[in-house]
Amino acid sequence: MCGIVGIVGGHPVSQRLLDALKRLEYRGYDSAGVATISGGTLERRRAQGKLINLEMRLKELPLDGIIGIGHTRWATHGAPTERNAHPHIVDGVAVVHNGIIENFAELKAELEETGADFETSTDSEVVAHLLAKYRRDGMSGHGAMQKMLKRLRGAFSLAIIFQDEPSTITVARNGPPLVIGHGDGEMFLGSDPISLAPLTNEVTYLIDGDWGLVSRTEVMIFDSEGNPVTRPRCASMALADRVTKGDYAHFMEKEIHEQPQVVARALTHYVDIAGRRVAPLSARMDFANVSSLVISACGTAYLAGLIGRYWFERYARLSVEIDVASEFRYRDIPLPPHAAALFVSQSGETADTLASLRYCKGNGLKVGAVVNTTESTIAREADAIFPIFAGPEIGVASTKAFTCQLTVLAALALGAGKARGRICEDEERQLVTSLIEMPRIMRQVLENIQPKIQLLSRELSEFSHVLYLGRGTSFPLAMEGALKLKEISYINAGGYAAGELKHGPIALVDENVPVIIIAPHDRFFDKTVSNMQEVAARGGRVVFITDERGAASSKLDTLQTIVLPDVEEIVAPMIFSLPLQLLAYHAAVFKGTDVDQPRNLAKSVTVE
């Protein structure tokens, strides 16, 4: 998604704006630009594609100026061209925008009637035209901004500079996050604290409806009615060092291999390693007294939530209502009294997940956030935070955040089971022991399966369609395997409950559609093997992912088989994630796609 940065500086800003934009690259973007006030005139440089193109443009045509704004654009309205790139400049007003102006067509028509000449196909340009119009009508920047904000509908964060007010950046937030950074005689702004970390760690988060004026020494913030408001200054934990790939070819590969370490770190916060017990949760969420549980999230985080549902139902005997957040927020769902809700999000900024959280909170539910970014909006608005401790995840395709989300959800389900008297001490000890052993087994799997995976993924990369099947927790895992493959290799893939095979997907099976069957030797194993036989009988190419017990009992040596160690059921989804992630990763490498920043995808989805 789009990223915004800004600096009201004591010395030239364009290089620092570029550096801050680089720190937002992980979010995904397709063009970029900066604008500064240089010699009293607003000037901009923009470029299609990666930031290196903007960097070259700035080398050819440097920008000086000690105040400036910058933007990485993830196209929503209008193609990702230089012409559509931000900043938009109209009559001495420069605007960068993250979000969607929902009523832009209406505003554009109105402005065109008064003679405005639009250059781009973006929704964002209306902001610059509206402000320019109000300035021409004689308003100050402050007045124009206040009037303009009343006209906008939708989600936005904005940073604006007026050529004739060269010491102030005007900002606004209604949806996508915006953070102000306090420096020494300088002020900064960015879409997240990570973008500002080398500049300052002292930040102020704007909340929805806020807008403000940022100068070198002062920040003035107003609410939507124009009343001055105070927002706290806090210390950000974002690290200044940029995360690097180390010896790995891609961030995704590095993040896959980091999993034993980060999952182990997450566990130390949720289980008592020495005592083999789950850590008490009641201070954060009183699972003992909730009537049921609501879970909502998007994408991979939703699939982690789906797996979590099996655990909460099984170990805590809590019934779970779960839906993708983009549906959940609009279903007008009657929420059960005394229910609790969990929202799962790596970034903590996903617009639909945040809206679902607000819906539940507004209906009186106690809400918990299972998040990686503990300074995010979702974390800040939740009643209880359950960090997943995955560390920065840069690859757009989620890997380590997924297994850390699973680890935390497993521990929460066991904690809830214990609080509700649904698991006894022996069971608790046994389940926690298997969680504690998981990082070691992950390490072993990552060391052993690479050669086989490489061969398989080379084959897989030549197909156009792939099916994934599983039962129980392996069903959401099948969906996750399919999601991972399609998002980075662009191979069409679908994940299904193996029991649904005969209800439709089997029609797709032939020698051109590999079927990846996820079948740990659990209580569903025999049924899944029957489904596998049905696929094999129709000439389907089966890739069978099982464990040692499964491999011994199925005796299907004609198949391509990946054999993983035997593990407890609660640990299987984390272990079986590894071959699925590696298959997708290597298939994408064979296809030569942009693994870390796949086309059209963004890491942080701050609009609907």
Element holding 459 (H helix, E strand):
helix 450-460
Q: Which stretch, 70-78, 167-175, 298-306, 446-454, contacts ligand F6R (CB under 6 A)?
A: 298-306
Beta-bridge partner residues of 94: 89, 161
577 is a contact residue toward ligand F6R (CB under 6 A): no
- Kindly give the residue spans of alpha helices, DSSP state H, lying in 185-321: 193-196, 251-257, 259-268, 299-316
124 is a contact residue toward ligand F6R (CB under 6 A): no
Q: Return the amino acid letter for 425.
A: E
Give the residue nearest to ligand F6R (CB): 299
Q: Specify burial of residue 11 (Cβ count, 10 A radius: 0-12, 13-18, 19+).
A: exposed
Per annotation, catalytic residue among 2, 298, 360, 404: 2
456, 583 Cβ separation under 8 angstroms: yes
* Number of helical H runs and strand E runs in the chain: 19, 27
Q: Which stretch, 88-96, 293-301, 406-414, 434-442, contacts ligand F6R (CB under 6 A)?
A: 293-301
Cβ at position 300, least distance to ligand F6R in Å: 3
195 is a contact residue toward ligand F6R (CB under 6 A): no
Phi, psi of 466 (to 5 degrees): -140, 140
Our CB check for ligand F6R shows the closer of 341 and 605 to be 605
* Residue 592: other Cβ atoms inside 10 A: 9
Active site residue 603: yes
Our CB check for ligand F6R shows the closer of 316 and 483 to be 483
Per CB under 6 A, the list member of 84, 259, 296, 347 interacting with ligand F6R is 347
Per CB under 6 A, the list member of 301, 360, 412, 445 interacting with ligand F6R is 301
CB burial of 443-463 (b: ≥16 within 10 Å; e: otherwise) equals eebbeebeeebeebbeebbeb
Cβ at position 171, least distance to ligand F6R in Å: 23
476 is a contact residue toward ligand F6R (CB under 6 A): no
460, 466 Cβ separation under 8 angstroms: yes
* Beta-strand runs (E) in 425-541: 465-470, 492-497, 515-519
263 is a contact residue toward ligand F6R (CB under 6 A): no
Cβ at position 349, least distance to ligand F6R in Å: 7
Q: Return the amino acid letter for 98.
A: N
461 is a contact residue toward ligand F6R (CB under 6 A): no
Judged by DSSP in three states, 261 sits in helix
Per CB under 6 A, the list member of 169, 498, 605, 607 interacting with ligand F6R is 605
- Count of residues engaged in binding ligand F6R, rule: CB under 6 A: 14
Our CB check for ligand F6R shows the closer of 204 and 398 to be 398
Per CB under 6 A, the list member of 398, 403, 407, 577 interacting with ligand F6R is 398
31 is a contact residue toward ligand F6R (CB under 6 A): no
Is the N-terminal amide bond of 87 cis, ω within 30° of 0? yes
Cβ at position 488, least distance to ligand F6R in Å: 8
Active site residue 2: yes
Per CB under 6 A, the list member of 84, 124, 195, 353 interacting with ligand F6R is 353
Q: Which stretch, 292-300, 329-337, 519-527, 535-543, contacts ligand F6R (CB under 6 A)?
A: 292-300
300 is a contact residue toward ligand F6R (CB under 6 A): yes
Our CB check for ligand F6R shows the closer of 494 and 540 to be 494
Cβ at position 148, least distance to ligand F6R in Å: 30
Residue 597: closest CA among 199, 151, 32: 32
48 is a contact residue toward ligand F6R (CB under 6 A): no
CB burial of 241-279 (b: ≥16 within 10 Å; e: otherwise) equals eebeeeeeebbbbbbbbbbbebbbbbbeebbeeeebbbb
Phi, psi of 203 (to 5 degrees): -130, 160
Binding residues for ligand F6R, rule: CB under 6 A, are 298-301, 345-347, 350, 353, 397-398, 483, 487, 605
Catalytic residues: 2, 603
